[in-house]
Amino acid sequence: MKFKNFPNIELILILSAIVYIVAWIINPNGNYEPWIILFTTAAGIKEIVRRYFKTGGNSKNTTEVSSEDSPNPLEQNNDEEKIPLNPSEISSLFAERFGLAFPGIRHIQWYTGKDAIVRLVKLLEEPLRFKNENGEMCPIWWWRDGNMHINNFRTISRQEVLLDTKELKISKVAAVYSNFYYRCFVYVESEPMKPTGIYEWDEEKINKWVQESGYAYEEYGLYKGKIPISRTEYDDGAALIKGKLITFNGDIELRVRYLTPYNFVIAPQSSPINNSHFDQYLGDHLNMMLQGKATIEELRNKVETLPKVKMWEFYE
């Protein structure tokens, strides 16, 4: 029972006690003492109970905070000051994440299904953005033929994840260990996903994309988390939806969906993989892996020979 819903009970009890006290003063011979004791005692008990429920049974004097005053945990997390990170600590940060996501691994280890998702979630858990002297940095990157830092990562179903704009139906993951902690990396491969239906696709068109790029994909916007629209409409900020001209007003996100098998690697920004002379080889090798013409062992051996990155664009 929440006594705060009856704020006048205590006042009524006190006034009743005062009335009987006055009556007792006027007529000392009247039998008013029991009533006075009853009402004053009840008022005291009411005050004790009120204080007890207010503090939640805590004997310490605490301040009651209403739900309106309570901070939103999500807002608190978003407003938290980013953790500082020195560029020299990037490789060690990734090595620590690698060890937590793939404990005990001292070779190449493959993961599939739910286990692969769980490992990626651990590897790419928050925070992914850190503070440095220049403002902000994202130390973990994905690498292929359009290398980019990783800002956000989350699961969107049991098999699918969202890595920034990439929709990925994970098929398998390989943890590639190295005796040199800064050479560790993670290989990720995804299964084809169904087209959104926005664009016209046929087998010939998809095969052409695969021959040219190694994979086929489509870019689209997702309005209100459920309505797909074309990339050009996304760029224009509006679309005709169910006969109505809708302005997005920021309530839209860019997505990339892969219609054929796709793969990439995850490594720290300070990895030897961050080498412009290696970009073409990496893209070609990953394409051949999708075709079954190359192996992860060959890629590991190549990364082992790459020069160590010397902050930032020089090699030693």
HEC assignment per residue over the chain: CCHHHCCCHHHHHHHHHHHHHHHHHHCCCCCCHHHHHHHHHHHHHHHHHHHHHHHCCCCCCCCCCCCCCCCCHHHHHHHCCCCECCHHHHHHHHHHHHHHHCCCCCCEEEEEHHHHHHHHHHHCCCCCCEEECCEEECCEEEECCCCEECCCEEECCCCEEEECCEEEEEEEEEEECCCCHHHCEEEEEEECCCCCCCCCCCHHHHHHHHHHHCCCEEEEEEECCCEEEEHHHHHHCEEEECCEEEECCCCEEEEEEECCCEEEEEEECCCCCCCCCCHHHHHHHHHHHHCCCCCHHHHHHHHHHCCCEECCCEEC
- Structure confidence at residue 128 (pLDDT): 96
Residue 179 domain flag: yes
- Structure confidence at residue 45 (pLDDT): 61
Are 23 and 169 contained in the same domain? no
In angstroms, the CA 91 to CA 184 distance is 9
- Please list the pLDDT of the chain residue by residue as tens digits (316 residues): 444 444 456 666 666 667 656 665 676 666 656 655 665 666 666 555 555 444 444 433 333 333 333 333 333 333 345 788 988 899 999 999 999 999 999 999 999 999 999 999 999 999 999 988 778 889 999 999 889 999 999 999 989 999 999 999 999 999 999 999 999 999 999 999 999 999 999 999 999 999 999 999 999 999 999 999 999 999 999 999 999 999 999 999 999 999 999 999 999 999 999 999 999 999 999 999 999 999 999 999 999 999 998 754 434 4
- Structure confidence at residue 13 (pLDDT): 61
Are 281 and 144 contained in the same domain? yes
Are 144 and 94 contained in the same domain? yes
Are 21 and 85 contained in the same domain? no
Residue 42 domain flag: yes
Are 280 and 160 contained in the same domain? yes
Residue 141 domain flag: yes
In angstroms, the CA 185 to CA 94 distance is 9
Are 167 and 269 contained in the same domain? yes
Residue 157 domain flag: yes
Residue 219 domain flag: no
Residue 197 domain flag: no
For residue 36, the enclosing domain spans 3-55
- Structure confidence at residue 145 (pLDDT): 87
Q: How many domains does the chain have?
A: 2
- Structure confidence at residue 314 (pLDDT): 38
Are 186 and 265 contained in the same domain? yes
Are 116 and 40 contained in the same domain? no
Are 123 and 187 contained in the same domain? yes
Residue 41 domain flag: yes
CB burial of 132-170 (b: ≥16 within 10 Å; e: otherwise) equals eeeeebbbbbbbbeebeebeebeeeeebebbbbbbbbbb
Are 49 and 142 contained in the same domain? no
Are 25 and 80 contained in the same domain? no
Residue 186 domain flag: yes
Are 40 and 170 contained in the same domain? no
